[in-house]
């Protein structure tokens, strides 16, 4: 089977939402045609590493849609992998060509779902009387509910769902583990380079940033144009970097203790993760993607990724989850970034055309990307099918978290 034989369906509308309001589910039989939009956004801060996206999607607030890639729309009840993209909760879209699931679906005879959700201020503004925060997480929750209700129509098994996400997408999965509403919507989870040190912002800090955002507008956020919102978002990002001193921390991200997200030692966690299969890991040089954080990328990667992920692994294992780890050491020839943040993405998702000229791939031939990618995809597929990724080979190593 090859990627070209796959059925890629969508965009499909899974919910609708008014600005700064919670999403409303849309029954499949009642869903109007999708706009195909991704959430309005500024250019990604990682364009220098990944390259800018080469496919164009309209941007707009009618963006709660998803894509489904499947080998066949039949009754085979295949494992389902639901993808939550990265981008600092500020950029990206699950229907972008970078995240085409054709190779993964073909290699593993699985169904791959890519999810759009609200980003930036539209998804994560916390401002009294305007937005409660965490709307993007609620969007993701609705997408998972759509999968449970509809994925059998696309050859998938709604009881065999693995969520996988990179960076901000991994942080989203971490927070879904805290949410009572998410219980039972997935049985396995893969967290790829999730910078858990910045998982969620304290509510008081989020409200302060919300006021900075509102003060930078000349009109009400509820009626401002999208252009005005994005300009205010840019100004808030500058202010946040000045306050925090960090190029990694986004100005708008999930808020602890707001909306559906409880305190991160909340009572829902143990019940949600008991019996869950979890694979977490990082790339050996993750922090080379973030100049300005410091010169010692290895130490920064350890502090921002490895240590917080291992701490989560211990908590997961203590709650009864089965936990595996990985580290990716793939350093493409000719790349100045090494095994950087996002470098695993073209190994798992997307196509040669989507990733052509990506700076982080250096001058490595696509055939080498495909060869390494096949090995990594095999591990993700094995995990989605069995809960264990296998022994690994080449530039990726796997292990069992101690005590899991």
Q: What is the CATH number of the domain that holds 83?
A: 3.40.50.1820
Instruction: Report the C-alpha gap between 228 and 219 in whole angstroms.
Output: 9
Is the pTM higher than 0.75? The answer reads: yes
**Contact in structure between 126 and 212 (CB atoms under 8 Å):** no
Q: Which residues of 162-185 are buried (b: 16+ CB within 10 A; e: fewer)?
A: bbbbbbbbbbbbbbbbbbebbeeb
Report the DSSP beta bridge partners of residue 326: 281, 398
Q: What pLDDT was estimated at residue 29?
A: 67
Q: What pLDDT was estimated at residue 245?
A: 84
Cα end-to-end span (Å), the chain: 35
Q: What pLDDT was estimated at residue 1?
A: 41
Q: What pLDDT was estimated at residue 2?
A: 44
What does the DSSP 8-state code read for residue 190? Answer: E
Instruction: Report the C-alpha gap between 263 and 78 in whole angstroms.
Output: 35
Report the largest interatomic distance among the alpha carbons of the chain, rounded to a whole angstrom.
57
Regions in the chain scoring below 70 on pLDDT: 1-4, 28-32, 258-260, 262-267, 392-393, 403-404
Cα dist from 23 to 77, 123, 135, whole Å: 28, 11, 8
Q: Which of 133, 80, 145, 91 is nearest to 116 (CA)?
A: 91
Expressed as residue numbers, the domain containing 234 is 3-400
Average per-residue pLDDT for the chain: 93
Q: What pLDDT was estimated at residue 262?
A: 62
Q: What pLDDT was estimated at residue 210?
A: 97
Tokens (6 digits) for 163:
């969520």
* Total domains in the fold of the chain: 1
């Amino acid at each position: 089977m090859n990627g070209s034989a796959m059925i890629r369906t969508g965009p499909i509308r899974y919910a609708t939402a008014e600005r700064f309001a919670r999403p409303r589910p849309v029954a499949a039989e009642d869903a109007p045609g999708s706009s195909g939009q991704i959430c309005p956004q500024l250019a990604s801060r990682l364009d220098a590493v990944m390259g800018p996206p080469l496919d164009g999607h309209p941007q707009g607030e009618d963006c709660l849609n998803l894509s489904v890639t499947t080998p066949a729309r039949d009754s085979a009840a295949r494992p389902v992998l639901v993808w939550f993209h990265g981008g600092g909760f500020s950029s990206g879209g699950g229907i972008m060509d970078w995240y085409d699931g054709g190779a993964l679906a073909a290699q593993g005879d699985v169904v791959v779902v890519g999810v759009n959700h609200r980003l930036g201020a539209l998804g994560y503004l916390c401002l009294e009387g305007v937005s409660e925060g965490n709307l993007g997480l609620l969007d993701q929750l609705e997408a998972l509910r759509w999968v449970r209700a509809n994925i059998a129509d696309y050859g998938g098994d709604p009881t065999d769902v693995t969520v996988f996400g990179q960076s901000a997408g991994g942080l989203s999965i971490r927070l879904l583990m805290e949410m009572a509403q998410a219980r039972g919507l997935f049985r396995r989870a893969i967290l790829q380079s999730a910078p858990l040190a910045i998982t969620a912002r304290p509510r008081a800090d989020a409200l302060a940033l919300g006021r900075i955002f509102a003060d930078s507008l000349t009109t009400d956020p509820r009626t401002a144009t999208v252009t005005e919102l994005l300009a205010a978002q840019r100004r808030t990002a500058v202010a946040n970097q000045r306050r925090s001193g960090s190029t990694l921390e986004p100005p708008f991200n999930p808020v602890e203790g707001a909306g559906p997200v409880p305190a991160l030692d909340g009572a829902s966690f143990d019940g949600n993760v008991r019996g869950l299969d979890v694979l977490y890991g990082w790339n050996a040089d993750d922090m080379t993607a973030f100049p300005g954080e410091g010169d010692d990328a290895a130490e920064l990667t350890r502090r921002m990724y490895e240590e917080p992920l291992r701490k989560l692994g211990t908590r997961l294992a203590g709650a009864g989850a089965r936990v595996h780890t990985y580290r990716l050491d793939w350093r493409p020839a000719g790349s100045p970034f090494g095994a950087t943040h996002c470098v695993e993405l073209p190994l798992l998702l997307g196509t040669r055309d989507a990733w052509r000229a990506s700076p982080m791939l250096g001058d490595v031939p696509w055939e080498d990307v495909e060869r390494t990618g096949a090995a990594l995809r095999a591990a993700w597929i094995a995990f989605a099918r069995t809960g264990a990724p296998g022994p690994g080979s080449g530039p990726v190593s796997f292990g069992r978290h101690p005590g899991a």
